[in-house]
Structure 1
Amino acid sequence: MKIVIRAGGVGSRLWPISRESNPKQFQMITGNKTMIGDTIDRVTPLLKNKSDLFISVNETMKKRLKKNFPKFPIKNIIVEPVSKNTGPAICLESVIAADRFGEEEIVASLPSDDYISDAKAFQELLVLTENFLKDNPEYIVTPGIKPNYPDTGYSYIKSGKNLMKAGDQAIFTVASWVEKPDWDYCKELIASGLFYYHTGIYVWKLKTILGLFQKHQPEMLAACRKMLALSKKKNQTEKVKKIYTGLEKMSIETAITEKTKKIAMSVSNRIGWSDLGKWHIIKDLLPPNNGDNLTRGGVFPFDTTDCLIYGPKNKLIATLGLDDLVIVDTEDALFVCPKERSGEVKKIVEELKKKKEYKKYL
């Protein structure tokens, strides 16, 4: 099995720490390792050779990746000229992997910023999925996680027929998808016991996913194949960028997975997965370290409860009489909001993009 770590996103929901110039996956937000470093360590035991691991980034992050991981092979860095969401990114990575290894290879494509508490259980689930695909190559498989609280920011997958079982791990058909339901519907889905969080992780045989791109997104596939051919020639960088820039921005779900019936979900109750994409998730995931608050930097929380307060080491943040807030202070930007609304910071980022004088803060 080959593995692609997708690290091209900006992570705007963790603004102002996560920026275009220094996105969350290259930062130590939850511990003493970067998110992408944790992901590399988690998947390395699954690799037969170091050359079996790829990292996909956009052009602006290529230098940072090289700086953070100087020993990572250059030929295994997949560069998106611009960010076009996961549809074009996965199409490009699949074309490159097929050119390198052939279309019979099985590939796992996963985000760089997931939190997983049990790496061994995660590795076991990917091995189970790989074995399933060897006998059932017509499927694409995505791991699902049993939800423990309603979250309107996730998509949900309904489990169908049991296809394979090994201990506490299993693979089901996908009966249906629900894209980011409202709060009340979220509670209904969870109460049914049949729905799982969609992780955004995928495992497939290259022949299968490329066949689906040919069926549902033929122009995208042709463009990525043309990019690959041009990249093998000299002085074609601008042509490659122009082709990719012309692709429609779309998710892999919109492009492919919601259009195919041969999709399965692998499940394990031991993984302990979380998408580290919102400040309130980080607050609820990590143990409090300053009273019942989660803090970093110079923070003095007086009569303050259940807050996340991140600040620089060389600056004191003192609070009084606060409850359930997110406070994130950087050298040039301060963000404050009720904890339950922290996922909406992306709205602020989108508005800042519209005003030239604020772009320096992005």
Structure 2
Amino acid sequence: MQPQGKIVPVILAGGTGTRLWPLSRNSLPKQFLALVSDNTLYQDTLLRVPPGDDFLPPIVVTNTDFRFFARRQASEVGIEAVVVLEPARRDSAPALLAAAAVAQQIHGADCLVLALAADHVVKDVAAFQAAVQAAARVAASGRIVTFGIAPDGPRTAYGYIRPGAALAEGGHTVDAFVEKPDRGTAAGYVADGYLWNSGNFLFPAALMISEAERFEPELTGAALGAVARAGTDLGFLRLDPESFAAAPAKSIDFAVLEHTKLAAVVAGDFGWSDIGAWDAVREIGAPDADGNVTAGPVTLRDSHDSYVRSDGPLVTGIGLAGISVVATEDAVLVMPSDRAQEVKQLVASLKAARHNAADEHVKVHRPWGTYQTICRGERFHVKKIVVDPGATLSLQKHHHRAEHWVVVQGTAEVTVEDKVFAVHENESTYIPLGGVHRLANPGRIPLEVIEVQTGSYLGEDDIVRLEDAYDRC
């Protein structure tokens, strides 16, 4: 057995979490939301594997849209991560192989990699870390280890693993990976001792790459080429777009795990859930005497076995039974709780109908802060803009709209053409149509501005960026 050493966590944080709409949307997906604790799911994942005696600093793989979330939220919990940007979504295999190659560059060819999804829940962190150490001993003997979860029932939302022979180092070989079954098949799997496939893995980086080269040489070559030709961008490691685009979209299960003879499984009982849909979120919550789980401003009467959450208005219910209700400021989802898996199809229909709420939240996050729609009409759009201390928007202009800015908190540094001036609280300024302008916050508190846009077209694509601190020109 090779020396075990510290483990390199790789956090895969590029998913969209469509089944948790309307809270999770493309502009701010579930991993960056505080769904079950005061931290976001991504932050809780980072805190399960903190740099120290057992773990090295994490490598986070995400896409360009989420890069500032990934870095900022890691810093908020005191962790500095290496953030790797995938230029396109290609499922987990290219992302994980690229991360393994980055881990080798930083920590050596024989490093052990722990690949974790950023959007899973683990209730018992100590038990999880013990399972990781057990898996590390198995992986160091030359195995690709997956974490299997003892089922609490015949779930149809998870894939399953059939364990094989016991291994001297612990765990078992894997006889088979099986896809999500129907309920009858799932009941048979549970009776036969199958485990849920958690989709989290621990492996020697060199072994995973060599096995991937055997089974998926084109995919592996593309992923490794993307790392070899990667560049840095504002402190992020940006994979080469052309190389990465050549990788087929494929999960690591399909690409490697279902083919290799070196797969092993270590069983864990640490309160795991992938919270893939609202029924799973309900199961994590603490039910009242009637079996209801509520969050936010909610009042129920004569209701049982329901999940009701509001991140916006007061929600009330009478006579609910097995119903899920999720409300945000701009959308409400109501459904029988046992049809939670159908939310993905609902969101697809919303996108087809071009509903803005399918992808965007009312509050939109940007590298410099946030903006939120207050009121919208045919020829006007009112927003609340919050600029973080020291942050600045791009130098830009608009072809179809003028803007009026009223400062309600802080002091704004405003650029209009060749003039730079301060606008204080309770003061306003005007940006004419076509005027080159910039808004910045030179202060130490958040800058809050009410923006009134007027014009013939008010879409976000009417922004011509001339200079940008976040490389978005």
TM value normalised by structure 2? 0.70
Q: Distance in 2 between matches of 1:233 and 1:286?
A: 41
Name 2:166's counterpart in structure 1: 162
- Contact 2:87-2:238 at 8 Å conserved across structures: no
Q: Give the residue type in structure 2 aligned to 1:317.
A: V
Aligned match of 2:68 in 58, 63, 69? 63
Name 1:350's counterpart in structure 2: 348
Name 2:305's counterpart in structure 1: 306
Aligned match of 1:318 in 316, 328, 351? 316
SS of residue matched to 1:108: strand
Q: 1:347 to 1:208 in 2, by over 3 A?
A: same
- Contact 2:230-2:239 at 8 Å conserved across structures: no
SS of residue matched to 2:187: helix
Are 2:175 and 1:175 equivalent residues in the alignment?
Answer: yes
Q: Distance in 1 between matches of 2:320 and 2:357?
A: 30
Q: Distance in 2 between matches of 1:97 and 1:195?
A: 32
Equivalent residue runs for 1:1-362 within 5 Å: 1-44=7-50, 48=54, 52-70=57-75, 72-73=79-80, 76-134=82-140, 136-137=141-142, 139-164=143-168, 170-192=170-192, 194-232=193-231, 240-268=240-268, 270-289=269-288, 291-313=290-312, 315-355=313-353, 357-362=354-359
Name 2:379's counterpart in structure 1: none
Structure that is richer in helix per residue: 1
Q: Give the residue type in structure 2 aligned to 1:293.
A: N
Cα shift at 1:10: 0.8
Q: Distance in 1 between matches of 2:94 and 2:176?
A: 24
Q: Distance in 2 between matches of 1:300 and 1:163?
A: 53
Q: 1:352 to 1:234 in 2, by over 3 A?
A: closer
Q: Give the residue type in structure 2 aligned to 1:299.
A: V
Bigger drift between 224-233 and 26-35 goes to 224-233
Q: 1:116 to 1:331 in 2, by over 3 A?
A: same
Q: Give the residue type in structure 1 aligned to 2:106.
A: R
Structure that is richer in strand per residue: 2
SS of residue matched to 2:105: helix
Q: Give the residue type in structure 2 aligned to 1:358.
A: H
Q: Distance in 1 between matches of 2:233 and 2:297?
A: 51
SS of residue matched to 2:10: strand
Q: Give the residue type in structure 2 aligned to 1:147.
A: P
SS of residue matched to 1:211: helix
SS of residue matched to 1:256: helix
Q: Give the residue type in structure 2 aligned to 1:62.
A: R
Cα shift at 1:290: 8.1
Provide, for residues 124-152 of structure 1, a one-character-per-residue CA deviation record: whole Å limited to 9, x for no partner.
Answer: 11111112222x21x20001011011111
Q: 1:238 to 1:360 in 2, by over 3 A?
A: farther
**Which structure has more RCO (C-alpha within 8 Å, separation ≥ 6)?**
1
Q: Distance in 2 between matches of 1:63 and 1:234?
A: 12
- Contact 2:171-2:264 at 8 Å conserved across structures: yes
SS of residue matched to 2:155: coil
Q: Distance in 2 between matches of 1:246 and 1:190?
A: 39
Q: Distance in 2 between matches of 1:291 and 1:91?
A: 47
Bigger drift between 80-89 and 154-163 goes to 80-89
Q: Distance in 2 between matches of 1:195 and 1:201?
A: 17
Structure ID, larger Rg: 2
Q: Give the residue type in structure 2 aligned to 1:191.
A: A
Gaps of 5+ in 2: 1-6, 360-473
Q: Distance in 2 between matches of 1:218 and 1:208?
A: 14
SS of residue matched to 1:337: strand
TM value normalised by structure 1? 0.90
Q: Distance in 2 between matches of 1:234 and 1:181?
A: 43
Cα shift at 1:283: 0.9
- Contact 1:47-1:53 at 8 Å conserved across structures: no
Q: Give the residue type in structure 2 aligned to 1:153.
A: A
Cα shift at 1:222: 1.6
Cα shift at 1:180: 0.5
- Contact 1:162-1:172 at 8 Å conserved across structures: yes
Provide, for residues 215-248 of structure 1, a one-character-per-residue CA deviation record: whole Å limited to 9, x for no partner.
Answer: 111122222222222224899x999223323422
Name 2:434's counterpart in structure 1: none
Q: Distance in 2 between matches of 1:160 and 1:220?
A: 29
Provide, for residues 114-173 of structure 1, a one-character-per-residue CA deviation record: whole Å limited to 9, x for no partner.
Answer: 222211111111111112222x21x200010110111111100011111147xxxx4011
How many residue pairs get matched? 349
Q: Distance in 1 between matches of 2:324 and 2:232?
A: 50
Q: Give the residue type in structure 1 aligned to 2:13.
A: A
Q: Give the residue type in structure 2 aligned to 1:287.
A: A
Q: Distance in 2 between matches of 1:360 and 1:321?
A: 29
- Contact 1:224-1:244 at 8 Å conserved across structures: yes
SS of residue matched to 2:229: helix
Q: Distance in 1 between matches of 2:50 and 2:222?
A: 31
Q: Give the residue type in structure 2 aligned to 1:16.
A: P
What's the % identity of the aligned pairs?
29
SS of residue matched to 1:247: coil
Cα shift at 1:33: 1.5
Q: 1:316 to 1:47 in 2, by over 3 A?
A: same
